[in-house]
Structure 1
Amino acid sequence: MTLGVVNTATEPLPRLAWRPVGLVAAIQIVVLTALSGRYGFHRDELYFVAAGKHLDWGYADQPPITPALAWLSTTLFGETPFGLRVVATLAAAATAITIAYVARELGGDRTVQWVSAAVAALGPFSLAVSHMLSTSTTDMLIWALLGLFVLRLLRTGDGRWWPAIGAVIGAGMANKWLILLLVFGLAAGVLVFGPRGVLRTWWLAAGAAVTLVLVAPIMVWQVANDFPMLTVASGISEDDGAENRISFVPLQLVYLTPVGAVVWIAGLVRLWRDPGLRWARALAVSYPVVCVVLLAVGGKPYYSVPLLLLLVPAGVRPVLTWLTTGLRRAALGVLAAVGVVMAVVTGLPVLPPPLLNGPVLAINREPGEQVGWPELTANVAQVWRQIPDGARAGSVILTSNYGQAGAIEHYGPRHELPKPYSGHMSYWDWGPPSDSMTGAVLVVGGQPAQSPHLAGCRVVAENDNGAGVDNEEQGTRITLCDRTTAPWSQIWPSLRRFY
């Protein structure tokens, strides 16, 4: 027994501290709900809403869970930022509670449990992905659940946890294939450091069968569509691989604030050194394994954040034990307060949009991508009205990315705009305009004047979001072309874009 914590492999666990942990989750829900309607949809959220109207077993760049959640949330609560983000808020609260359970599994007492939940909830990355619906929002919860179930298996040796583990892995594969990183890391840890006895049971086969059943329809879809997700992943690695490798280590130290980094590093060390947690050493092994894989393939640095959350509960007690003097407590308190303020300012929509330019967008560009979509649609509508009334029925709106298409699909009806088309990601799968559409083509973004498929193109307007926010769509050109040079069915294959 070390650091005043029980050897949880052999002794009863503490009770879950429902009141303080529930209070953390309740505050989280209140804050996220109060701010969920500010700014507007993120470009990815607009895409998820559109994808939810085309429910399928897969999409060009993702499995089906997040679009399905978008459909469910907007169906129940309305197709608004507030309505869409209800499921994101609930997932964030569930993640914090699950991290408290992980703390309990590692022998953490009442204080360790609620502090672990708070650290998990207050990191800049956690706040950013909790505010909006994204694949990472759900991924954090799934990784936390997998970590909890695996720790329960390793601590108790009860093979009956394998089907639950298999179900979580299957759900993870239905959301984002990154769950395989954690599976690989944990498997390496168990094989090298044990306890390997958990592998010698038929329950392992049962768990694998559960995963296969859940994943089968998703894999069938991917095979039938030539594995587009692998194409997207390879494009990310080629385009951003070098930048991702350079920024990987520094970003690991700020995703949960610097104080949060102290906690998860302390957790990593404790899992290696504490004899009472020898059974949980596989969790410590998984982090360097995952980091090596991400660095090798040029994956995005934030892919490892859910694993950092799992390390936090192991580090809370050593950090609290270190705070033996008033000076240490004051210094850490100041750093924690500064970190939380930075996390709130950069991760949540608390500032007026014009104040986002500068440090906020330099740290996190995602708030900027939640500004200006109604304005973009209105600007497109102004150009659309320049097409003669009699010619609009045969004309087409073509966008260069799914954010633009999603915005026009959502906000366009109030401006009497038709359905937009795009070759980006799954918008391409949803089909081209009819060959009978032989009129003008309004193009949002891109360089249509250089396209061999469009004729008589001229830039008519440049988008202005009205708030001066320097986001991806500020200054986007809106071009009007007289006609196409071939039927849409012939043009469409050349318009496909995976990134």
Structure 2
Amino acid sequence: MGIVVAAQAVILTALSGRYGFHRDELYFVAAGRRPDWGYVDNPPITPWLARASTAVFGETPTGLRVAATLLGMATVVVVALMAREFGGGRGAQLFTALATALSAYVLAVSHMLATNSADVLLWSLIALFGLKLLRTGDGRWWLAVGAAAGLGMANKWLVLLLLSGLGVGVAIAGPRRVLRTWWLAAGIGIAAVLAAPVVVWQASHGWPMLTVAGGISEDDGGENRVLFVPMQLVLLSPVLVPVWIAGLVRPWHDPALRWARALAIAYPVVCVELLIVGGKPYYSVPLLLPLVALGAEPALRWLARAGTTRRVLTGVVAAVCVAVSVLTGLPVVPASALDGPLLAVNKEPGEQVGWPEFADTVAGAWARIPATERDTAVIVTGNYGEAGAIEHYGPARGLPQPYSPHMSYADWGPPPDRLVGPVLLVGGIDRGSPASRLITGCRVVAKHHNAEGVDDDEEGVALSLCTLTEPWSTAWPVLRRFY
């Protein structure tokens, strides 16, 4: 397992500087400069990790992604330890470590820093501690479960899905004796203390994360439901589907693993919850990793019994799936080759391309403003990625601090009312919307095109010079966007 983790560290580090910052990473770097107990769309752990990683290793993609690499390495270790919890020997643990490290989802979240980077580790820790609790019946493991759950709440509230799934599993399949102990109350207390500052922040700001989640469900819920089952089959790797299915059924056939049936119930429970609310398909993927660990032993037994032809065929299929995982999860192809199937499977690499050139485009549009008017001019962007890019790359190009009504950038504004000059608007405003009555007279002065020709969210975005009709303090609440 140590060799697997070492190789993972070398490969991720070697590729961490390719392409560039992801739009979300630029946002997390900006949020990390403004430490708080919460943000509009996520709790504070990921921005804090961004702040710590860039402070130590430099504000570059490579420096930022040290944190993602370490989280990915830790995830591989924790999932491999689950295989040991199920009675797996060194072979099962090695198999689990390789399967985890080479799965498409883990590769993607270990390459770039995202809320999912910490989330997959925290889900894995909760699962590991919970399995120890169920296997041993030692109530003291509730303290570890509570601590991991509290940290999970400080990173992403999706951890509540995992806890509810495991809770339903224990209620149905047991062992229920783990619920009849005061250690459970102690664990809940630890989780509550760790999560309290985040919950208080959200409550005092009107629960913006719930507003964001509601918007995601309303906009993408139908598509998420349609894609949910197919994405469960490919987000880790198609070759691992038989393994985690073996993990689902193993506790029902192996009396020695009766205590693990709650895990087998938790996954379908979480899937049903996500289908009901229209959550994104990848939200449930971290729960597949413990099932891979549970299915490792049966998978290895099947391979040992299989004939030469089946082994060769399995090896070929596995090699193809690993290649696909690497191509979609890591920046191994030239950026110019990203368009087409690769972005169709995973759009995130495209969002890592062209941000310095984007800042160049903004600088060119800024130069169109007469020098006498720039002291009172404002740059307003349509989303947090654009604002984060200008904040990071803009000073070297003579650009001022950008503003955006999107997500937490809205809380970091508005521009001072003294800035009454031209508005350099990045992106458009819907005609007939309330915002269109506040920012008017727009004329396009530039359009952004990245040098690699990648069809990302910023390709072809228009930059316009506009006029503000109300003071920023009045206009900002109308302009604010949660999704």
Task: Report the TM-score range of the alignment, normalised by the length of the smaller protein.
Answer: over 0.9
Q: Is 1:496 aligned to 2:476, yes or no?
A: no
Counterpart residue identity of residue 464, structure 1: H
- Equivalent position of 1:484 in the other structure: 468
* Percent identical: 63
The structural deviation recorded for 1:269 is 1.2
Give distance in 2, aligned partners of 1:272 and 1:378.
60
**Does structure 2 retain, via aligned residues, the 8 Å contact 1:78–1:84?**
yes
The structural deviation recorded for 1:26 is 0.6
**Does structure 2 retain, via aligned residues, the 8 Å contact 1:449–1:458?**
no
- Equivalent position of 2:317 in the other structure: 335
Equivalent residue for 2:429, pick from 430, 434, 447: 447
- Equivalent position of 1:138 in the other structure: 118
- Equivalent position of 1:350 in the other structure: 332
**Does structure 2 retain, via aligned residues, the 8 Å contact 1:97–1:117?**
yes
TM-score (norm 2): 0.98
Give distance in 2, aligned partners of 1:256 and 1:457.
46
Equivalent residue for 1:91, pick from 54, 60, 71: 71
**Does structure 2 retain, via aligned residues, the 8 Å contact 1:455–1:484?**
yes
Give distance in 2, aligned partners of 1:398 and 1:24.
46
TM-score (norm 1): 0.95
Moved over 6 A (4+): none
Q: Is 1:263 aligned to 2:248, yes or no?
A: no
Q: Deviations over 1:40-68 (max 9, x none)?
A: 00000000000001111111000010000
- Equivalent position of 1:4 in the other structure: none
How does 1:36-435 map onto structure 2 within 5 Å?
Answer: 36-323=16-303, 324=305, 325-435=307-417
SS in 1 for 2:446: strand
Most deviating of 419-428 and 119-128: 119-128
SS in 1 for 2:463: strand
The structural deviation recorded for 1:448 is 7.3
The structural deviation recorded for 1:449 is 7.3
Most deviating of 32-41 and 448-457: 448-457
Q: CA RMSD in A?
A: 0.9
The structural deviation recorded for 1:173 is 0.2
Q: Is 1:463 aligned to 2:463, yes or no?
A: no
The structural deviation recorded for 1:102 is 0.4
- Equivalent position of 1:18 in the other structure: none
SS in 1 for 2:38: coil
**Does structure 2 retain, via aligned residues, the 8 Å contact 1:448–1:454?**
no
Counterpart residue identity of residue 446, structure 2: A
Give distance in 2, aligned partners of 1:142 and 1:452.
46
SS in 2 for 1:397: strand
Give distance in 2, aligned partners of 1:272 and 1:183.
21
SS in 1 for 2:406: coil
Most deviating of 118-127 and 364-373: 118-127
Counterpart residue identity of residue 472, structure 2: W
SS in 1 for 2:276: helix
Q: Deviations over 1:423-466 (max 9, x none)?
A: 00000011201000010100001237761112331011110111
Give distance in 2, aligned partners of 1:285 and 1:227.
31
Give distance in 2, aligned partners of 1:250 and 1:262.
14
Counterpart residue identity of residue 393, structure 2: Y
Give distance in 2, aligned partners of 1:424 and 1:273.
51
Give distance in 2, aligned partners of 1:344 and 1:438.
50
The structural deviation recorded for 1:255 is 1.1
